[in-house]
Every structure is written in C-alpha cells, then in structure tokens.
Structure 1
C-alpha cells in the first residue's frame, strides 16, 4: 500500500491511527483511520486507483450522487462544497481527514461502489489528480473492491492489522 506512512498518535486525543499520504497536483494531503472500540477485524482499508474507482461509483444503480459521479474535474472544482474538503485537507499531517467509507457489494449483478461517507473528500482528490487513495469498507467488500478498483500489486488490510491493539495501548 503505497500511501501508508505508518502509525501516528493524534495530538488532540492521543488516539493512535494509521496515517496515509495522498499525492495530488496541488499538494500532498493526509488521511487516517483509527481503531474503534469494536469491529476492527470487520473494517478494511483498500488503496484504490482513482479512475477505476470512479467507474465503479458511476455504476451505482441507486446513487443519490449521480450528477457528481458523472462530473469531471472542472465541474467538481466549481461545487462550493469542495471548499469544505479543501479546508479539511489543509490541516495536513497533524490533523488528517478520515478515509471515505464505501461499500462494494460482491453479490451485485453489476459491480458498483456506494458511499456511506466522504463523497466530497473523494471528489477533491479526483479533481486534483490523485492517482490513488485509500478508502475504508467492510471486510466482506474488500476483496471485490481490491479486484475491481485496487491499485496494482497491493492488498487490502483490516484496521486491526494497520492499528493493532498493542499500538493503541502503547500510545496511551
């Protein structure tokens, strides 16, 4: 996973998180995923290829974001909500933004990606030429997402693998 930098203790709450750096045309931006009190073995991180990911998103049959998914960088940059994503990314490595949360139902007749959270963050990355970036999904969706949109040569990781319990305790 090319974007993975390692573990970082967050200054605000001392919580340990997996830190990622995403290269864009304007700057490197930082994202993270943290352990929760439960379900870390059921949460996965997949590094996706931006173009392949956007194709899957455009195939979502029930998307409430079809207009955005079908857009292009010029349209996305004109959306005033993109400024909120830009502000979030502006805090850098010290306060990384959370990964977008998606699903990729393996049993779907036509494969697709749907968002739970993080549409504008993802569009900001796409609008500013990120070639790849990490997203969070359920472990049950990770294999399909990796196969359909994952970066070549990478594999998905559970949150438990990226932020093991001993790392979280060592930071306390």
Structure 2
C-alpha cells in the first residue's frame, strides 16, 4: 500500500491512527483511519486506482450521487461543498481527513461502489489528479473492491492490522 505512512498519535486525544499520504497535482494531502471500540477486524482499507474507482462508481445504479459521479473536474469544483473538502485537506499531516467510506457490490449484474461518507473528498482528489488513494469499506467488500479498483500489486488490510491495539 503505497500511500500508507505508518501510525500517528492524535495530538488532541493521544489515539493512534493509520496515516496515509496522497499525492495530487497541487500538494500532498493526508488521510487517516482510527480504531473504534469494536469491529476493527470487519473494517478494511483498500488503496484504489482513481480511474478504475471512478469507473466503478459511474457504473452503479442511478442514485443520489449520479450527477457528481458523472461530472468533470470543472463541475466538481463548482459545487459549493468542494471548498469544504479543500479546507479539510488544508490542515495537513497534523490533522488528516478521514478516509471515504464506501461499499462494493460485486454480486450485482454490473459491479459498482456506493458511498456512505466522503464523496466530496474523493472528488477533490480526482479533480487534482490523485492516481490512487485509500478508502474504507467492510471487510466483506474488500476483496471485490481490491480486484475491481485496487492498485496493482497491493492488498487490502483490516483496520486491526493497520492500527493494532495499544498495550497499556
């Protein structure tokens, strides 16, 4: 997983998180995922190829994000929420943005991804030519997402693998 940098302690609460650096045409930006109180084995991180991921999203059934999925960098930048994503990324490594949360439906006639959270962050990355970036999904979706949109030569990881429990 090329974007994975390692563990980082949150300055505010001391909680550790997996830190990722994503290269874009304007700057390197930072994203993270933290452990939760439960379900870390069931949460996965997949590093996706941007072009393959966007195609998989666009192939999905018509939904609330269809217009955005089929947009262009110009239309994405015109959306008022785009600046909120830009602001989130502006805080850098010290305050990384959370990974987008997606699901992958490979059993459908046409496989696709859908968003739970992080649409504008993803569009910001795409608008600024990120070649790849990490996303969070359920472990049950990770293998299909890796196969359909994952970066070449990488594998998915559970959140438990990336952020082991702290030993007191």
Taking the TM superposition and a 5 Å limit, the aligned residue runs for 1:38-49 are 38-49=38-49
- Counterpart residue number, 2:130: 130
> Root-mean-square deviation (CA), in Å?
0.9
- Counterpart residue number, 1:54: 54
- Residues in 2 aligned to 1:64 and 1:14: alpha-carbon distance in whole angstroms: 37
- Residues in 1 aligned to 2:26 and 2:167: alpha-carbon distance in whole angstroms: 36
- Counterpart residue number, 2:26: 26
Question: What secondary structure is seen at the aligned counterpart in 2 of 1:103?
Answer: strand
Taking the TM superposition and a 5 Å limit, the aligned residue runs for 1:111-150 are 111-150=111-150
Question: What secondary structure is seen at the aligned counterpart in 1 of 2:105?
Answer: coil
Runs of 4+ in 1 over 3 A off after TM superposition: none
- Residues in 1 aligned to 2:141 and 2:63: alpha-carbon distance in whole angstroms: 18
Alpha-carbon distance, 1:148 to partner: 0.3
- Counterpart residue number, 2:151: 151
- Residues in 1 aligned to 2:126 and 2:106: alpha-carbon distance in whole angstroms: 24
- Residues in 2 aligned to 1:102 and 1:62: alpha-carbon distance in whole angstroms: 16
- Counterpart residue number, 2:110: 110
Alpha-carbon distance, 1:95 to partner: 0.4
The TM-score, its normalising length taken from structure 2, stands at 0.98
- Counterpart residue number, 1:91: 91
**Number of paired residues?**
168
- Counterpart residue number, 2:73: 73
Alpha-carbon distance, 1:106 to partner: 2.7
The TM-score, its normalising length taken from structure 1, stands at 0.95
Alpha-carbon distance, 1:169 to partner: 3.9
- Residues in 2 aligned to 1:94 and 1:58: alpha-carbon distance in whole angstroms: 33
1:101-150 per-residue CA deviation (whole Å, 9 max, x = no partner) reads: 00002322210000000000000000000000000000000000000000
Q: Which runs of 5+ in 2 are unaligned?
A: none
